[in-house]
Amino acid sequence: MKFFYIYLLFSLSVFASNLSDIYKLYEKQEYEKGCDYGEKYYTKNIDNENYLTFYGLSCLETNSISRLAQPMVKLGGSRELRETASYFATILLQKQLMKQFLIDGKELGNLRLPKTDFVLSRIFNLFVKKEYSIKKDIYILVDKEKQDIRYEVYIKEHNKNRNYMIIDIYQNDKFTKRYQYN
């Protein structure tokens, strides 16, 4: 009987709503956990667009930005959700284009992609406007709107087939955050 209760308790915890769990993780700003949790129960909540939104938003704040593709293709039930899907798609595209620019030297030219408030998007726009300086293969960018913030973008070779794009953020010359995208 004791084991049965334990089993029941365990099963109830297993079948609790994933949405509330992911929301709580997002609220606590535990993005890494939220992103992993989102991926874990993705197939189970494939039709829950709120869940997918939180999954994407959690992953956006981590280095696993490529996971955005999963919720991105499934969102589209309402106007807001469609915009969120475009938001994810834009960020992913900008990341890929930036990598092309940094590794292959492909010019970004006069590209006019949608603007977002995400760091990567802001850096991309600075690259398009050619508002950067190069110092020892490191691109240094300063946002005009936020003068105290400086971005340093460079490529770090992991192995022959894989390169990481590193974005270091400095505020008042103090290192604050690093994004590392593969």
Partner 1 sequence: MINTIELEKRWLRYKTKIYRSLFFIIFFILAIPYLSYYLFQQYTLIIAKEKSISKVEREGKPMSLKDEFVPKIENKVENVNDVVLAPSIPIIDFNNEKQIDNRIAEKKKIEQKRVKEKKMEQEKAEKSRLEKKQAYHQRIAKRRALKRKRALEKKLLKKKSLEKKLSEKSLPRKRKLIKAKGSSALTSRDLGVVSHTNIDRKESKKITFHTTSNNYMPIMKRKFEQNKNAREAILIAKAYYKAGNYVESEKWALVANNLDKNSEESWFLFAKSKAKLGKKREALKILISYHKKTKSPQAKELIDKIQSRSI
| Residues forming the site for partner 1 (CB under 8 A) | 8, 11-12, 15-17, 19-20, 23, 49-50, 53-54, 56-57, 80-81, 83-84, 86-88, 90, 112, 114-117
| Amino acid of residue 79 | R
Query: Could you identify the residue written with the tokens 């609220």?
Result: 27
Quick one: tokens of 170? Answer: 């400095």
DSSP type of residue 112 = -
Nearer to partner 1, 27 or 148 (CB): 27
State the DSSP code for 22: H
DSSP category for residue 113: P
CA-to-CA dists, residue 145 to 19, 78, 141, 142, 150, angstroms: 36, 32, 12, 9, 11
Is the Cβ of residue 15 or residue 144 nearer to partner 1 in the bound state?
A: 15
Q: In the complex, what is the shortest distance from the CB of residue 49 to partner 1, in angstroms, rounded to a whole number?
A: 8
Residue 21 CB, shortest distance to partner 1, in Å, is 10
Considering the complex, state which of residue 55 and residue 150 has its C-beta at the smaller distance from partner 1: 55
Question: Is 43 strand, coil or helix?
Answer: coil
Residue 65 vs 102, nearer CB to partner 1:
65
Q: How far is the CB of 164 from partner 1 (least distance, A)?
A: 25
